[in-house]
Amino acid sequence: MMYRDHQLTEDGKLKHFLSIEGLNKTLLTEILDLAESFTSLADHGRAVKKVPLLRGKTITNLFFENSTRTRTTFELAAKRLSADVLNLNISTSATSKGESLLDTLRNLEAMHCDMFVVRHASSGAAHFIANHCAPHISVINAGDGSHSHPTQAMLDMLTIRQHKSDFTPLRVAIVGDILHSRVARSQILALNTLGVTEVRVIAPRTLLPYDARSLGVHVFTDLHEGIEDVDVIIMLRLQKERMTGALLPSEHEYFNLYGLTEDKLHLAKPDVIVMHPGPINRGVEMDSAVADGKHSVILEQVSNGIAIRMAVMSICLGSRPEHQRREETA
Amino acid sequence: MVEQVTQTAFMQENAILDLIDGMASQLKRQLQQNGISEAAMIGIHTGGVWIAEKLHEKLQLAEPLGTLNISFYRDDFSRIGINPKVHPSNIPFEVEDKHIILVDDVLQTGRTIRAAMNEIFDFGRPASIIYATLIEKDGRELPIQASVVGLKPMLKQNDYLTLKGPSPLSLVIGRKLSGGDSEA
């Protein structure tokens, strides 16, 4: 709840998109509805696959951490809305973050940017920037440390809704590296806010946070038990770059115990969908037969990522309170 | 602050259907005059689609009806933001080189039609666009005029007409009350 005030305007509209935390079902549904209508821009009949909604706005991708797919989909989303896009890859050497970051911000503000899309290896970086940037700027969190990745969670929700229409009766299993996953935290919050019946997390004990249950989930350490009768399976990537120490015996053993294969998939509901935020480690998190199989919706997730980012960008930039807009034009 | 309005009935379905009949004959004449044998139709969400559905049936056009939602093309986005409930545009035919009949319920400022034409051009380059509206009001802010008009009623300055529907269709006059009145 601590972020509620940071993300919303006085009249309860989304100004920044930093975390699923503090957003109610109505707001999340609005994002999904708008994203749904943006998906129609990819229709074959359209000669021009963009709309002039954010014409004249400047959106800056501030990536302190590399991520080709996320950066590309944010860039494409901004361009489909006719915004101008600036891509900045800023390396985070061992600077004392506070000072240098603020200097960067002041410089970007001087270039008259309207939105920062922030990706950072430290939890809370996007919130920090939202707190310290000029009042007319909106900030979108594109992943901060192991804290949250709200647009990824929302594109997953959109994909689930397109296949299952109603969230209420669903049982959803999230499998893999829950401990290091900002995606999992955001997904759990979003699923519970949208009112699914059950969220399960499935992982070896070493990859579960010690307070997993407090997230509002049922915890399983056995994949067979965990995916029984679920409607949705979300596989997470093994975050090798975030792992320190001996959390796993080997990738091979991980695959034997937690890798998704067609055999294991039979335990879930017959119309189960399989998701993965990418990039997939084939033969570690899942078999190629599953990744490319009929239950997989992984590539739909990528397309939906553009629509969700378009929705969040246009909601944030369209919800500035009146007095702020007056100041801008003054 | 919520704007205070009063609403009174202006026209019921039967009378509106008569207007649509009149529009259909005007359109036939116009197409003939322009030497157009085949046209396609696009209605603007929401009221324009209701009118277009009826016109489309009367004119027996071969191409299925297209629908346009101009929310993403509005010129007041940075002032009022976006309504998340946007029915996406759906144009089930090739726009390129088509003669298009564009249908809306009420023409006033002309801004909706400006946005609609911009969106149509993102689908392709039409051969021509004929614009038909059920109601024409004064108050143009852009150089846009309708080729076919159902009715041009005499209205007071603060009055505006809203089409309700889809079944039954009715026209309602809304009257904006000034600040003092709304407090009363």
Report the pLDDT value the prediction gives residue A251, as an integer from 0 to 100.
82
B163 vs A211, higher pLDDT: B163
Map residue A295 onto helix, strand or coil: coil
For the whole model, what pTM was predicted? 0.88
Q: Single out the residue of A301, A309, A316, A304 nearest to residue A27, CA to CA.
A: A316
B68 touches chain A (CB under 8 A): no
B70 touches chain A (CB under 8 A): no
Which tokens is A3 given?
């972020």
Q: What is the pLDDT of residues B60-104, one digit of tens each?
A: 999 999 999 999 998 888 777 787 777 889 999 999 999 999 999
Instruction: With a cut of 70, say whether residue A37 has pLDDT above it.
Output: yes
| pLDDT class of B118 with cuts at 50, 70, 90 | very high
Report the pLDDT value the prediction gives residue A5, as an integer from 0 to 100.
58
B179 vs B175, higher pLDDT: B175
B157 vs A165, higher pLDDT: A165
Asked if B122 and A48 come within 8 Å (Cβ–Cβ), the reply is yes
| pLDDT class of B158 with cuts at 50, 70, 90 | confident
Residue B120: list chain A partners with CB under 8 A. Answer: none
A325 vs B167, higher pLDDT: B167
Percent of chain A with pLDDT over 90: 62
Instruction: With a cut of 50, say whether residue A328 has pLDDT above it.
Output: no
Asked if A30 and B84 come within 8 Å (Cβ–Cβ), the reply is yes
Q: What is the pLDDT of residues A54-84, one digit of tens each?
A: 999 999 999 988 888 889 999 999 999 999 9
Asked if A315 and B88 come within 8 Å (Cβ–Cβ), the reply is no
Mean pLDDT of chain A: 88
Within A195-321, residue ranges assigned H as helices are 223-226, 251-258, 262-265, 288-291, 298-317
Q: What is the pLDDT of residues A85-95, one digit of tens each?
A: 998 877 654 45
Mean pLDDT value across residues B155-182: 80
Q: Are strands A218-220 and B128-136 parallel, antiparallel or unpaired?
A: unpaired
Q: What is the pLDDT of residues B8-31, one digit of tens each?
A: 899 999 999 999 999 999 999 999
Mean pLDDT value across residues A221-244: 87
Residue B94: list chain A partners with CB under 8 A. Answer: 45
**Quick check: A275 and A234 in contact, CB under 8 A?**
yes
CA A116 to chain centre: 16
Residue B85: list chain A partners with CB under 8 A. Answer: 33
- Interaxial angle between packed helices A68-80 and A298-317, expressed in degrees from 0 to 180 and rounded to the nearest 10: 50
Indicate the DSSP class of residue A214.
G
Residue A30: list chain B partners with CB under 8 A. Answer: 84
To the nearest 10°, the Cα dihedral for A49, A54, A58, A62? -70
A137 touches chain B (CB under 8 A): no
Minimum-distance CB partner of A51 among B73, B81, B96 = B73
- CA angle (A150, A151, A155) in 5-degree steps: 120
Q: What is the pLDDT of residues A2-24, one digit of tens each?
A: 444 579 988 888 999 999 999 99
Q: Per 3-state DSSP, what percentage of chain A is helix, strand, and coil (rounded to 5)?
A: 45, 15, 40
Q: Per 3-state DSSP, what percentage of chain B is helix, strand, and coil (rounded to 5)?
A: 35, 30, 40
Q: What is the pLDDT of residues A272-292, one digit of tens each?
A: 999 999 889 898 899 999 999
Instruction: With a cut of 80, say whether residue B161 has pLDDT above it.
Output: yes
Report the pLDDT value the prediction gives residue B133, as an integer from 0 to 100.
97
Residue A317: list chain B partners with CB under 8 A. Answer: 78
Q: Which of A166-180, B67-81, B99-113 has the lowest mean pLDDT?
A: B67-81
Report the pLDDT value the prediction gives residue A106, as an integer from 0 to 100.
87
Instruction: With a cut of 50, say whether residue B33 has pLDDT above it.
Output: yes
Measured between alpha carbons, how far is A61 from A205 in angstroms, rounded to an integer? 36
Tell me the ipTM for this assembly: 0.81
Q: Where are the beta strands (DSSP E) in chain B?
A: 5-11, 40-44, 66-68, 99-107, 128-136, 148-151, 159-164, 170-176
Asked if B77 and A318 come within 8 Å (Cβ–Cβ), the reply is yes
Report the pLDDT value the prediction gives residue A329, as an integer from 0 to 100.
44
Side chain identity, residue B139: G
Instruction: With a cut of 70, say whether residue A242 has pLDDT above it.
Output: no
Nearest Cα of chain B lies from the Cα of A14 at a distance, in angstroms, of: 11
Instruction: With a cut of 90, say whether residue B113 has pLDDT above it.
Output: yes
Side chain identity, residue A325: R
**Quick check: A261 and A237 in contact, CB under 8 A?**
no
